[in-house]
Amino acid sequence: MTANKRPAIIIFAACVIKLVKVGNIKLGEFPLLLAPMEDVSDPPFRAVCKANGADLMYTEFISSEGLIRNAAKSRKKLDIFEYERPIGVQLFGSDIESMREAARIATLASPDLIDINYGCPVKAVACRGAGAALLQDIPKMVAMTKAVIDSTHLPVTVKTRLGWDESTKNIEEVAERLQDIGISALSIHGRTRVQLYKGDADWTFIGKVKNNPRIQIPIFGNGDMDSPEKAVDLKNRYGVDGVMIGRASIGNPWIFREVKHFMKHGQHLEGPTVHERVAACKQHLLEAVKWKNPVVGILEMRRHYSNYFKGFPYFKETRMKLVMSEDLQEILQILDNIEMGIFEMESV
């Protein structure tokens, strides 16, 4: 009787689906994360990505110094909305005590988690001892992370890079030491700080971290994740628990639903229709106007039009009308015209 039951037990075990959890946050089988991007992943942009399937999102990164000094820009970035959940607040800084206090302040905004940025490569951040600069001082990184963990009841996660440069790819040590002090998940961008965003992301080190038997927390991969096929390949090849999508989502929030459809059915979902492109652009615009104000919302939306309508014929003149207009109703009418196939024809 025991022998007859054994195959059934094996089959059942093979069908068990592993659900990814960050602390007590359930994210599903293979979550898709929206990467925190400065001047991009604000609430209006996040609303569009959430509507298209993003499983976990983050605020733009927030300066710890700005937060503790009550700077308006930093405080504004703490705005989160119920429909965005789960959502994390991402902090960066170079001073341990400032990060401790910033985490306490961020916790009061009631996000679902706190994320620490140890990956930003830009000079204004890294050359001031924050972001990716901490990859050059692992003891300080560990101490800073522990201070943040001790100052909040929320799960604390980290986003970082492979190392400072080619000769110091220390991500395996970083992963072990940060796990040992209690982080709940780690997101790794597959480049060094020196690389910035040049060259191809190297996922082999991300795979090494994920397949390290000591590592028990979720490992999310980031870098050049720009297609459904790549998501499947990265999952199968490196075993990551999920992927973080950044630049590929700009003007293309549908990438989240396309990846999910491909992973479930093995087939490509048809691309967004003109109606869907216009609807997403309108949603983004209206959320920007509501969250900021009509003047700032309209101004900041101008950089997004080309992304939403990339490849459209005769779009140059229509785009010029969109970016020149300061009237919300006029902009909405131009977007309606795009849906109806009415473009400002270029002279030939």
pLDDT band per the 50, 70, 90 thresholds, residue 127: confident
pLDDT in tens, 264-321: 999 999 989 999 999 999 999 999 999 999 999 999 999 999 999 988 877 889 999 9
Do 152 and 184 have their domain in common? yes
What's at 252, amino acid-wise? N
Backbone phi, then psi, for 326, in 5-degree steps? -115, 10
Non-local CB neighbours of 185 within 8 Å, separated by 6+ positions: 22, 155, 157, 158, 217, 218, 219, 220, 241
Task: Categorize the per-residue pLDDT at 217 as very low, low, confident or very high, splitting at 50, 70 and 90.
Answer: very high
- Residue 253 placed within a domain: yes
Find the angle CA(112)-CA(117)-CA(119) to the nearest 5 degrees.
Answer: 140
Read off the pLDDT band of 194 (50, 70, 90).
Answer: very high
Rounded CA-CA distance 59/48 in Å is 14
pLDDT for the residue 311: 84
Co-location of 158 and 293 in the same domain: no
Q: Are residues 251 and 284 in the same domain?
A: no
Per the structure, the complete domain to which residue 320 belongs is given by: 274-339
d(CA 239, CA 293): 44
Same domain, 253 and 278: no
pLDDT band at 17 (very low <50, low <70, confident <90, very high): low
Which amino acid does the sequence have at 15?
C
- Which pLDDT score is estimated for 72? 93
Q: For residue 344, what pLDDT band results from cuts at 50, 70 and 90?
A: low
Same domain, residue pair 226 and 318: no
Strand ranges, E, within the chain: 20-22, 25-28, 32-34, 57-58, 62-63, 87-92, 113-118, 156-161, 185-189, 219-222, 242-245
**pLDDT above 80: residue 4:** no
- 212 is a domain residue: yes
Q: Is the dihedral of CA 301, 80, 55, 241 positive or negative?
A: positive
Q: Is 2 among the domain residues?
A: no
pLDDT band at 332 (very low <50, low <70, confident <90, very high): very high
Distance CA 249, CA 51 (A): 13
pLDDT at residue 14, as a whole number = 43
- Choice among 15, 49, 120, 281 that is catalytic: 120
| pLDDT for 315 | 85
Mean pLDDT in residue range 315-336: 94
Answer whether 331's CB lies under 8 Å from 323's CB. no
Task: Indicate the residue among 242, 265, 288 that finishes a domain.
Answer: 265
Evaluate if residue 98 carries a pLDDT over 90: yes
Distance (Å, whole) CA 128 – CA 234: 34
Averaged pLDDT for residues 157-164: 96
Cα–Cα distance measured from residue 129 to residue 72, given in angstroms and rounded to the nearest whole number = 23
> Greater confidence, 44 or 343?
44
Whether residue 7 is predicted with pLDDT greater than 60 in this model: the reply is no
Asked if 228 and 17 count as a contact pair (C-beta separation under 8 A), the reply is no
280 and 255 in one domain? no
Q: What pLDDT is attached to residue 16?
A: 52
pLDDT digits (tens, 9 = 90+) for 67-89: 999 999 999 999 999 999 999 99
| Residue pair 12/259 in contact by the 8 Å Cβ criterion | no
With residue 48 as reference, give the H or E element that holds it: helix 43-51
pLDDT averaged over every residue in the chain:
91
Q: Is residue 8 part of a domain?
A: no
pLDDT at residue 347, as a whole number? 36
The answer to whether the CB of 146 falls within 8 A of the CB of 174 is: no
Q: Are residues 215 and 304 in the same domain?
A: no
In this structure, is residue 12 part of a structural domain?
A: no
At which of 265, 286, 315 does a domain end? 265
**The predicted structure's pLDDT at residue 312:** 84
Tell me: do 328 and 233 sit in the same domain.
Answer: no
Domain count, the chain: 2
Handedness of CA 182, 187, 191, 194 (dihedral sign): negative
pLDDT at 177 > cutoff 50: yes
Whether residue 38 is predicted with pLDDT greater than 50 in this model: the reply is yes
Q: Residue type at 222?
A: N
Assess whether 127 carries a catalytic annotation: no
Residue bearing the bigger pLDDT, 316 or 149: 149
The CA-atom distances, in angstroms, between 245 and each of 72, 188, 254 are 28, 12, 11
Domain boundary among 265, 286, 312: 265
> The domain spanning residue 313 has which CATH number?
1.10.1200
- Residue 227: per-residue pLDDT: 94
Confidence of residue 324 (pLDDT cuts 50, 70, 90): very high
CA distance 53 to 30: 12
Q: Are residues 32 and 107 in the same domain?
A: yes
pLDDT score of 9 more than 70: no
Residue 341 has pLDDT above 60, yes or no: yes
Residue 342: pLDDT band by 50, 70, 90 thresholds? low
